[in-house]
Amino acid sequence: MFDFRLARVDWKLLGAALMLAVIGLVMIYSATRAELTTAGQMPAKKLILQSVWVLLGLVLFVAVSSFDFSRLASISWPIYLGTLGLLVLVLIVGGLVRETQRWLSIGPVNVQPAELAKLGLILMLAAYFAGREGDEAEFELLSRSLAYAAVPSILILLQPDLGTPILLLFVWGVTAYVFGARLHHLGAFAFAFVMVFVAAWGFGLIKPHQKQRLVAFINHSPQTKEERDARYQLDQSLIAIGSGHLAGQGLFRGPQSQLSFVPDQETDFIFSVVGEELGFLGAATVVVLFAIVLWRGLLICAEARTLFGQLVAAGIVAMIFMHVMANIGMSLGMMPVKGMPLPFVSYGGSSILTNFIALGMLQAVYSDQRSIRFD
């Protein structure tokens, strides 16, 4: 059932991800050391915790990538239902942080089920479409498949979290397209999603802080205190990145980062620390490394032995792409502010483990291409 061979590892994929993780460790230490010292805590606390998560992520990468990929489709239902169960559980007993209920406390560890739900959906969609290989991707079939994305999306919206449901729907759209969905069908679904969002806004179903973020993204010249407060995080991020110039202010020397002017700079806004302290060259390096991860993912998708493997790889590439675009985009003021971490770089156990599991799934598809089977 398990077979891990170094000769079958996609070293370009793993190497780029590990380099991103190393950059993340350095940036997390830089972003938190002053704040933790001021609070009387060990300045390397979050660095050590993130290092543990990265090492555990590597263990999970090896475990997942060595699993017999041909059996993965058969356990997609239990995995999917398990993630739905966690999403329900977090609504019942989850801890409330900043008016959101997203985390389950397991001893000293906080788990974010929405992260795991992304992988559960990818496997479920891949198994659903692969089980209908040869069928036409008609509107009815797409509508049924959409239900698998709708259920976790609704549960996550109740937390409330608007960014992750958008990501799940994007993953559904990419997976459906790879299966063979027509663009005009997907366009009709996209239009329907926009209309639902507009209706939700009109009926007051969108939370006030979510509205403020969207309005702040559009309004570049805030007049009132409330408008300025809504843009504060974005403006501080732009100041930090803009001050980095070509080569940056230098490690541990960024005024915005070291004085903690950017809220959540070790998580959602980690890219602002990269831009300020490492400059354009450092930020470009991060983008290039993500481009390598996505490039290898697309190649794995194109060369997959089975439709199931192709769909799994497509879903993972879509997930990583959306995270990168949303995180870097909001840091640069090109997208509304959303609580979406930068894969492999941002601080957080749930995120780093999810990404390494996803990397292991890509590696499993890659290994399956190169294995000899006697069917």
What pLDDT is recorded for position 358? Answer: 97
Could you report the per-residue pLDDT of 234-286, keeping only the tens digit for each?
889 999 999 999 999 999 999 999 988 988 899 999 999 999 999 999 999 99
Question: Over the chain, what is the mean pLDDT?
Answer: 90
Q: Which domain holds residue 80?
A: 6-370
Non-local (6+) Cβ contacts of 50 within 8 A are 24, 25, 28, 347, 352
CA 193/CA 173 separation, integer angstroms: 12
CA 134/CA 113 separation, integer angstroms: 34
Looking at the DSSP bridge assignments, the partners of residue 111 are 104
Asked, for residue 375, whether it belongs to a domain, the answer is: no
How does residue 374 score in pLDDT terms, banded at 50, 70 and 90? very low
What pLDDT is recorded for position 223? Answer: 62
Does the pLDDT value for residue 6 go beyond 70?
A: no
Reported as type and span, the H/E element at residue 27 is helix 11-38
Asked whether the CA dihedral 112, 113, 116, 122 is positive or negative, the reply is negative
Q: Among residues 57, 25, 58, which one has the least CA distance to residue 44?
A: 25
Could you report the per-residue pLDDT of 119-158, keeping only the tens digit for each?
999 999 999 999 999 888 898 999 999 999 999 999 999 9
- Bigger pLDDT: 116 vs 227: 116
What pLDDT is recorded for position 375? Answer: 47
How does residue 228 score in pLDDT terms, banded at 50, 70 and 90? confident
How does residue 109 score in pLDDT terms, banded at 50, 70 and 90? confident
What pLDDT is recorded for position 207? Answer: 78
Yes or no: say if 300 and 366 are a contact pair by the CB < 8 Å rule.
yes
Lowest model confidence (mean pLDDT) among 33-47, 101-115, 232-246, 346-360: 101-115
Asked, for residue 168, whether it belongs to a domain, the answer is: yes
What's the mean pLDDT in 36-61? 93
Lowest model confidence (mean pLDDT) among 38-52, 163-177, 195-209: 195-209
CA 267/CA 314 separation, integer angstroms: 26
- CB burial of 37-75 (b: ≥16 within 10 Å; e: otherwise) equals eeeeeeeeebbeebeebbeebbebbbebbbbebbebbee
List phi, psi (to 5°) of 343: -55, 135
Which amino acid is it at 279?
A: G
Asked, for residue 22, whether it belongs to a domain, the answer is: yes
- CB burial of 185-222 (b: ≥16 within 10 Å; e: otherwise) equals bbeebeeeeeeeeeeeeeeeebeeebebbbebbeeeeb
CB neighbourhood size of 146 (10 A): 19
CA 241/CA 273 separation, integer angstroms: 7
Q: Is the peptide bond before 108 cis (omega within 30 degrees of 0)?
A: no
Asked, for residue 1, whether it belongs to a domain, the answer is: no
Give how many domains the chain has, as a whole number: 1
What's the mean pLDDT in 147-174? 94
CA 189/CA 344 separation, integer angstroms: 31
Q: Tell me the CA end-to-end span of the chain in Å, nearest whole number.
A: 16
